[in-house]
Amino acid sequence: MSWFYRTFVRPALFTQDSEEIHNRTLSALGRVSRSEMWCDALATFYGAPQLPVEAFGVKFPNPLGLAAGMDKQAAAAPVWPSLGFGFSELGGVTWHAQPGNALPRMFRAVGDEALINRMGFNNPGAEALAARLAEWRRLGRWPAHPVGINLGKSKITPLEKAAEDYANSFRVLRPLADFFVVNVSSPNTPNLRQLQDKAALDEILAALQEVNGWGSIGPRPILVKVAPDLSFEALDEILELAGPRRIAGVVATNTTVARPAAMDPAWSKIYSETGGLSGRPLKARSTEIIRHLHRQTGGKLPIIGVGGIFDAADAWEKIAAGATLVQVYTGLVYEGPAVARSIVRGLRERLTERGLTGLSQAVGLEASSVGLESVV
């Protein structure tokens, strides 16, 4: 299936503008999402086998999720389980609706299987997202897997008011998702990444945890998404907040502002575009960050590993480095709709080959006595 997509479908799609194709695909999937019959039909081609895993108190049917940014408006929320995903992270969403940066703002470096984007949190705002999710629920089309929401900061909100901005979004969306991700690592909102500084992040998390204590719906797990460009020291400072601010996990990583050292000259024009780089060239750095976080926390803090996952070997590498869950964005663009099923199948095969009975036994395996060579 992936071969067919790569050979016939992808070349045709890639003759068109990246964001335009994205929007058209999402709107088609949005129409499919309204029909249980169509979703079931898709699931027969693309549904993934079970590979259950539990993290931060949430049960996932399999560990492969849809990364943030793919479905910012929950336009196709019900369809992602039918495409084999074990969870979806919707958004990023901000308190104020905003158009994002000027077009064009999404570029492909096809030879390197990478994307560069500077979307700038184009989204309808937290209240509109809440209304869309409530509508899916009303229609009986709530996604059949855990749903996370990625929270960003509105561009018009100054950094000093960031905590209030995040808390406003969280207040309206809290009843509608299983977990939340505080995104302080997008390179495309001016100065946003300064919010990864310990004091600023502490303020945001304090505001969110205050909201988290309200009412009768119970606290939601709050994770933090980090940039691959952070130093290990800066990551360690963030980890110091895990206990006091009840961080449920870390999503590692967002896109990078770095560019590959050995660039194919054919793509140098694309690489000179401002924005965050995702896909294959991000893989090694994001795994390195996961490995560091796992080591520093002794495996006690769940990690969602994301960055350059295209197949089961890539996903296994992240899990062996310490990720409990994994996500894809660019891999879906390059490998097509069968990517989740193929990754989950491949992970199950790897567990069987090694005589492991559950995915949790593979998490951080490379750090154990087994040794890296024998597990990847």
Ligand X SMILES: Cc1cc2nc3c(=O)[nH]c(=O)nc-3n(C[C@H](O)[C@H](O)[C@H](O)COP(=O)(O)O)c2cc1C
Among 63, 69, 84, 221, binds ligand X (CB under 6 A): 69
Identity of the residue, 167 or 315, whose beta carbon is nearer to ligand X in the bound complex: 315
Smallest separation (angstroms) from ligand X to the CB of 37: 30
Residue in the structure block whose two tokens are 């009986």: 140
Among 115, 315, 319, 359, binds ligand X (CB under 6 A): 115
Smallest separation (angstroms) from ligand X to the CB of 316: 15
Identity of the residue, 39 or 189, whose beta carbon is nearer to ligand X in the bound complex: 189
Identity of the residue, 121 or 166, whose beta carbon is nearer to ligand X in the bound complex: 121
68 contacts ligand X (rule: CB under 6 A): yes
Site string for ligand X, 305-334 (x = CB under 6 A): -xxxx------------------xxxx---
Q: Max alpha carbon distance in the chain (Å)?
A: 57
- In the bound state, the residue with its beta carbon closest to ligand X is 69
Residues 168-197 contacting ligand X, CB under 6 A: 183, 186
119 contacts ligand X (rule: CB under 6 A): yes
Q: How many residues bind ligand X (CB under 6 A)?
A: 28
Smallest separation (angstroms) from ligand X to the CB of 69: 2
Smallest separation (angstroms) from ligand X to the CB of 327: 7
275 contacts ligand X (rule: CB under 6 A): no
Identity of the residue, 69 or 364, whose beta carbon is nearer to ligand X in the bound complex: 69
Smallest separation (angstroms) from ligand X to the CB of 369: 31
The window from 47-55, 65-73, 155-163, 213-221 that contacts ligand X (CB under 6 A) reads 65-73
Full strand arrangement of the beta sheet holding 114-117:
106-109, 114-117, 276-279
Residues 74-113 contacting ligand X, CB under 6 A: 91-92, 106
CB 118 within 8 A of CB 101: yes
Tell me the backbone φ, ψ of residue 359, rounded to 5 degrees.
Answer: -65, -30
- 186 tagged catalytic: yes
Among 278, 287, 297, 342, binds ligand X (CB under 6 A): 278
Residue type present at position 237: E
The catalytic position among 18, 154, 186, 342 is 186
Site string for ligand X, 203-242 (x = CB under 6 A): ----------------------x-----------------
Identity of the residue, 67 or 250, whose beta carbon is nearer to ligand X in the bound complex: 67
Residues 10-49 contacting ligand X, CB under 6 A: none
Identity of the residue, 39 or 229, whose beta carbon is nearer to ligand X in the bound complex: 229
Residue in the structure block whose two tokens are 């050979």: 7
Among 39, 51, 67, 338, binds ligand X (CB under 6 A): 67
Identity of the residue, 33 or 254, whose beta carbon is nearer to ligand X in the bound complex: 254
Helix (H), strand (E), coil (C) string for the chain:
CHHHHHHHHHHHHCCCCHHHHHHHHHHHHHHHHCCHHHHHHHHHHHCCCCCCEEECCEEECCCEEECCCCCCCCCCHHHHHHHCCCEEEEEEECCCCECCCCCCCEEEEHHHCEEEECCCCCECCHHHHHHHHHHHHHCCCCCCCCEEEEECCCCCCCHHHHHHHHHHHHHHHHHHCCEEEEECCCCCCCCHHHHHCHHHHHHHHHHHHHHHCCCCCCCCCEEEEECCCCCHHHHHHHHCCCCCCCEEEEEECCCECCCCCCCCHHHHHHHCCCCEEEEHHHHHHHHHHHHHHHHHHCCCCCEEEECCCCCHHHHHHHHHHCCCEEEECHHHHHHCCCHHHHHHHHHHHHHHHCCCCCHHHHCCHHHCCCCHHHHC
Angle 224-230-232 (CA atoms, 0-180°, nearest 5)?
95
Residues that bind ligand X (CB under 6 A): 67-69, 72, 91-92, 106, 115, 117, 119, 121, 150, 183, 186, 225, 254-255, 278-279, 282, 306-309, 328-331
Positions annotated as catalytic residues are 186
